[in-house]
Structure 1
Amino acid sequence: MPKQRPEPLDDELTERPSKSQLKREMHALQALGETLIAMQPAERARFPLSDDMLRAIDETARIRSHEGRRRHMQYVGKLIRKEDLAAIQAVFDGIEQEKQQRDHAFHRLEKWRDRLIDEGDPAAEQWLTEHPDTDRQTLRQLIRNAQRERDQDKPPASARKLFKFLRDTVQL
C-alpha cells in the first residue's frame, strides 16, 4: 500500500508562491535594474536608492564580459529586493506623467503650427493675443515661408523652424 501524504493546509497553498512566480518576479526586478542602469545619472538621482545600489549601478559600466554582466545583473536584482519599490514606482509614475504632459504640449504646438500655416493672419493674431511676448515679425515671416513651401510641395523646413520658434516661445 502506497504511503499517503498528509493533506496540505489551505494556508500553505495560498502563502507560498510557485518557483516560476518567484523567477518571474526576480526577472522583473532585474529588468527594473537594467532600466535604472540605462538612465542618465541626472535622471537616476531622482530615485530613492541606497548607496550599495548606486555603487552596483556605477560598477556596471566597467563590466565588459557578457557572462560577468549577466551575473552582475542578478546581483543588481538581489539588491533591488531591499529597496523601497513603492517609492521607486512612484518616481517612475511621476516621470511617465511628465512625459505625457510634455507630449500633450507638443501635440498642442503641432496643432497651432498647422493652424497658423493653414489660416495665416487670423490664427497669428490669436496666437499673439495668447502669447504677447512673441516676436510678431519673425512669426509672420516663418508662417509665410511655411505656406510657400507647402504650396510648392517642398520639404517642410520652414514648418519645422516655425514649430521650434513656437516651442521656444512657450519655453518647452
Structure 2
Amino acid sequence: MTDFDLPEEFDEENIISKTSIKRDMHELQALGKRLTELKQNQLDKVPMSEQLRKAVEESRRITKREATRRHMQYIGKLMRDEDEEAIKNAVDLFDAGSKAFAQALHALERWRDRLIEGGNDILSEYVDENPSADIQHLRQLVRNAKKDVKNEKNTGASKKLFRYLRAIDDMDAELDA
C-alpha cells in the first residue's frame, strides 16, 4: 500500500470537516454560556449531569476574563456528554424571545380564554390535566373573569387568572423535572 492508497473500509461520506467540528464545539459553548445566565430556580429545571451543574454554578464565582473563557471551554467540553437537545429545549422555555416560550404562553392564553368562555366541562378538563390546581380558587378566578366580560369591565380578573394558570404550569413543570 502506498501513501496515497486508502484502506478499503474508508467511507468518504462519513468524513467530518475540522470546521464543522469547531462549529459544533462553539455551539455547545454558547449553550453552556446560556446555562450560566439562568437563575438558580430555572437552572434546577434543566436536565443535566451533576458535574455540569457544578461547573455552571462555579462559573458564577469567576470574574477574570481569561479564566471565564477557559471555564466556558470546560463547560463546552462537558456539554459533549450531555443530551444537547433536552438542555436546549429547557433553556428555550426560559428565553422570552424563543419560539418554545411563546408557544407555552399562547397555550396558557388559550386555556384562559376557554375557561372564561366555557362551562364546568372545560374547568373539569383543565383540572384533569393539571391535578395540582386548587379547584376552589380556580373557580373563583374564572367567575370573576366571566363577570368582567359580562359587565364589559376590566378589573384585571383575566390577568389574575392567567397568572394563576402560569403558576400552576410552572409548578407542574417542577414536579415533572
Taking structure 1 as the reference length, the TM-score comes to 0.59
Match of 2:110 in 1: 107
1:94 and 1:40, CA in 2 relative to 1: closer, same or farther beyond 3 A?
A: closer
- Matched residue type, 1:50: E
Cα distance in 1, alignment partners of residues 106 and 72 from structure 2: 32
- Contact 2:108–2:162 (Cα < 8 Å) also in 1: no
Aligned-partner SS, 2:75: helix
Pairing partner for 2:149 from 116, 131, 143: 143
TM-score, scaled relative to structure 2: 0.57
On the 8 A contact 2:29/2:73 being kept in 1, the answer is yes
Residues 29-40 of structure 1: pairs in structure 2 closer than 5 A: 29-40=28-39
The two structures, once aligned, show a CA RMSD in angstroms of 3.8
Which of these two proteins has the greater Rg computed from alpha carbons?
1
In structure 2, the residue matched to 1:57 is 56
- TM-superposed CA distance for 1:13, in Å, is 4.0
**For 1:169 and 1:62, how far apart are their aligned partners in 2?**
35
Matched AA of 2:25: M
Counterpart CA distance in 2 for 1:140 and 1:75 is: 54
Shift in Å, 1:127: 4.1
Shift in CA distance, 38/163, structure 1 to aligned 2, threshold 3 Å: same
Per-residue CA deviations over 1:116-137 (Å, capped at 9, x if unaligned) read 6xxxxxx5xx446744953487
Partner of 2:82: 84
The answer to whether the Cα contact below 8 Å between 1:139 and 1:162 also exists between their aligned partners in 2 is: yes
Over the matched positions of the two proteins, sequence identity in percent amounts to 22
Given that 1:60 and 1:72 are in contact with CA atoms closer than 8 Å, whether structure 2 keeps it comes out as yes
Determine helix, strand or coil for the equivalent of 1:6: coil
